[in-house]
Structure 1
């Protein structure tokens, strides 16, 4: 008896009229078994859906009045229907072979809960360090590697299908404006989910992600501080000093503002946030 190939749904989160125009400009290959779900935050707007998206039978657009990127991603997760779900932003160009590789990875390993893949910069290179062969993620992440949301694929009916992004973290959150993907994976690792990092190109992202651009928003520092304190509860203070020094050396942050806000984020998280849920403690 032939097993049905797993279906894949690419969940694109976007905001406002400019965001939906970026989605319309994305490269979204039309492939059997692959569909696209766009979670579109339209706060205070009455925007029309671009014709390029409306004409696609493999694209489904759902609107939400919520605020914050993590809420937007959770809205997509709550409405997704495919076997495998891929987190996505609104400025990517997908590669057919990459989408096929995601389905193949989950088809080949029924125990795989989360697959992590790779994006390129469109110039033949990468913006961060990746291992050269597949790596099982059980404890800490590989040296010099950090996770980006658009690299994460989830088996919907598996253990990770019930995971959600913490809504106190990420762009649009009140205090902790990054770190939602690290916390998402930390929750999965703590629960014993099987996570494998595959060095396979999934898409092209042109431009810098948060981890590679100059940091000016104190909320980003605070999110980094909160997540670092969660992952390294015994050594987070010296790690703050080292991260601030390295950031200053790279020219992407100022030492003392970074250090102060790292500490603020860790304290805020300890006093105000339940880290392994969706929302802040009452």
Structure 2
């Protein structure tokens, strides 16, 4: 069994890639998808990347994290694939955990694990027991860095929605929930395992739902993607509940949720 790690980075982020890489292993390969917005950033590419037999570097002019992940997946050839960003670090036991999990569970198409900050604090309130994922979890949110997929089950079949995510101007997050919805509709067999494989410095955008306009628009848009016209009532209730709890003002929240819904209606 082999693993491709799809590392997505942009512009100055390329200088952090060497810190991310583990010592070479026969069954592990790194596919680095490097987006750049100006030619000058190409001078930052570390020379050592060219000397690693287990590293392949692809260059793309443009931006958008969802697009970058899709580009990286197109280049994958191993049995398993997982996504990573340049500001993350794999745990020492990550590879053994991943290979062992998929060997013990041949029926699983996607496995989800845990991540923490560099100080060891869990990235979110993770469930303590493993369970099958047949719908979008309500008690915690899924992050891309936590998942490992069988390549043949996702390549050419499930993509990240490029209307969502970092690098976009309107819907700045939510691509993971859209991916999950597509995976569920496709009938993929998914399971969560309470084992940490990543450490990261990232801040979850979803936590900014009460203060960030882009996150609010994204919530409205992904709610429409999952529920169609029922999204209007769902978003109305969410805005009302949030304002009643003193977390935001109703009308600005509802306005931005509605902008997300209308965006999806106009941009199929």
> In structure 1, what is the equivalent of residue 126 of structure 2?
130
Question: Which among 143, 146, 155 is matched to residue 151 of structure 1?
Answer: 146
Look up the match of 1:26. Answer: 20
Unpaired stretches in structure 1, ≥5 consecutive residues: 1-5, 274-282
Quick one: which of 188, 202, 209 aligns to 2:204?
Answer: 209
- What SS does the corresponding residue of 1:36 show, helix, strand or coil? strand
1:10, CA displacement in angstroms?
0.9
8 Å contact kept, 1:113–1:160: no
Cα distance 1:110–1:159, how it changes in 2: closer, same or farther (>3 A)? farther
Q: Is the CA contact 2:209–2:215 (under 8 Å) kept in the aligned structure 1? A: no
Q: How many residues align?
A: 263
User: Structure 1 residues 247 and 126, CA, compared in 2 at 3 Å: closer, same or farther?
Assistant: farther
- 1:25 is displaced (CA, Å) by 2.7
SS at match of 2:93: helix
Structure 1: distance between partners of 2:183 and 2:155: 7
Change beyond 3 A, Cα 1:97–1:245:
farther
1:97 matched residue in structure 2? 93
Tell me how far 1:203 sits from its aligned partner. 1.0
Q: In structure 2, the residue corresponding to 1:23 is in which secondary structure? A: helix
Q: Counterpart in 2 of 1:62?
A: 58
Q: CA deviation at 1:215?
A: 6.9
Residue 88 (structure 2) pairs with residue 88 (structure 1): no
Alignment RMSD:
2.4
Partners of 1:263 and 1:214 lie apart in 2 by 14
5+ long unaligned stretches in structure 2: none
Query: For residues 27-55 of structure 1, what are the alpha-carbon distances to aligned partners after superposition, in whole Å with 9 as ceiling and x for unaligned?
Result: 53533311111100123224132134233
Shift of 1:268: 1.3
* Residue 246 to residue 139, structure 1, CA distance change in 2 (3 Å): farther
TM, length-normalised to structure 2: 0.88
Instruction: Please name the residue that 1:236 is paired with.
Output: 234
- TM-score, normalised to structure 1's length? 0.84
Provide the C-alpha distance between the structure 2 equivalents of 1:114 and 1:247, rounded to a whole number of angstroms: 37
In the TM superposition, residue 209 of structure 1 has moved relative to its aligned partner by 2.4
Distance 1:134 1:50 in 2: 40
- Larger mean CA deviation between 130-139 and 106-115 belongs to 106-115
Cα distance change of structure 1 residues 256 and 57 upon mapping to structure 2, 3 Å threshold: farther
Number of the residue aligned with 1:106? 102
| Larger proportion of helix | 2
User: CA separation of 1:214/1:56 partners in 2, compared to 1, >3 Å: closer, same or farther?
Assistant: farther
Q: Structure 1 residues 90, 132: closer, same or farther in 2, change over 3 A?
A: same
CA distance in structure 1 between the partners assigned to 2:143 and 2:55 by the alignment: 23
Matches of 1:82 and 1:248, distance apart in 2: 49
Alpha-carbon offset, residue 9 of structure 1: 1.0
